[in-house]
Structure 1
């Protein structure tokens, strides 16, 4: 046998502390269970959300439809204004053209009236019949055909030479300048209508320069001062008459 047998343990040596520990230090463990309360969903919540979404879609579609209508109405209104603007432009152009034609006609009529007023008045009654008789025989007064009157101006000069020598001398030629220029401008624009190289304003500028030196300008025609005597006016008439005679007879 090996050595001494084991010494038996004294039960008091280990049981007492165990009892002391178990009775004084160890407390029963308590377990706590945490619970979470889950509330049930409200009744009808899903249906309300779908209804709201449907209403939102309808409202959005209605807004888009109204916006499209507004755009179409705005486009139609814009086209209407454009057409109206074009119509107004054409109407204004036609009215301006008509007004310009009326103005030129009025100026021409005024010019003719002034020309007629500057001519000697025709005698009335028995004196008128005598005035209508033209003397026969030689001389410029009795032979219109002997004059070389090839143009309108020459023909008018020839008629003035063969008529009575009591033509009036214009004392206020400046009063006839406006009407004379209007008639001159209209005639020259008609003559220059085929000239595509010049704009209208360029043509008018050229016509004004021509008119400044043209015989149709009353300021370039024979005139007399308002205070001239009858003898001075008669001398001017005779001088102009001689100039016309030489030009027409000589064919120059």
Structure 2
């Protein structure tokens, strides 16, 4: 069995010494802060006492007890000072009547719009008859388009089957100005 280490661990000893020194520094710093705080509190207390003594001497110099008449006189003086500082407000009788802008009759040529929809209608320059449900007319419009354009497609492409012709017709229909979905329309729930 190896011999047990009898000496002191130098690293541990320095660490302990460092910690003890830091602890002592913190303790000293706290003590100094406490002293400063006590001095500041004492200074504030002395100032307050001096202020109170000065006030008490002024009251004592005035004659000791204060009578009811003196209190009323002091209150009256304060009220007068406040009234002098406050500018006099005009009563509703002195001020002129203001015209109600909501009741003013609009001049001729002006348009009044109280809701958003009214404002949009006033500002818009386009036609008023916008289609709100173009999908309802789509089937009938496609049948009319098919009747008009199927003979032309058959002449152009005689070797195509009917299903191929219908596919080509459908592609043309999607781009056609006759398609109600390609025309200008408004949403179904707009006012």
What is the TM-score of this pair, normalised by structure 1?
Answer: 0.24
* The structure with more helix, counted as a fraction of residues: 1
What is the TM-score of this pair, normalised by structure 2?
Answer: 0.31
* Larger Rg belongs to: 1
